[in-house]
Amino acid sequence: MISKRNNIARFQSDIFKNSYYRLLTLIVIECVVILLLIVAIIYFVFFQPPAKFYAATSEGQVIPMSVGR
């Protein structure tokens, strides 16, 4: 009777341990993905190419504009 309880307790312990390591692995992977997304957002915000502006005349001709100071 005691060995049966010990086997059940050991089995439950193994299940909880495996679930814990699986969850821990998932959390680490999610943290890496979040960090990569943060780096991508920072890159796109700070290294964005300058915008190009165009003007159109009443005849439909498109003229590029310079935005320099």
Does residue 67 surpass a pLDDT of 80? no
User: 6-41: per-residue pLDDT in tens?
Assistant: 887 788 888 888 899 999 999 999 999 999 999 999
The total domain count for the chain is: 1
**pTM for this model (two decimals):** 0.61
d(CA 7, CA 42): 53
Q: How confident is the model at residue 43 (pLDDT cuts 50, 70, 90)?
A: very high
Q: What pLDDT is stored for residue 3 in this prediction? A: 83
d(CA 30, CA 24): 10
Instruction: Write the single-letter amino acid at 22.
Output: R
Measured CA to CA, the distance from residue 53 to residue 68 in angstroms comes to: 11
The answer to whether 29 and 37 are in contact (CB under 8 A) is no
State the residue range of the domain holding 25: 2-65
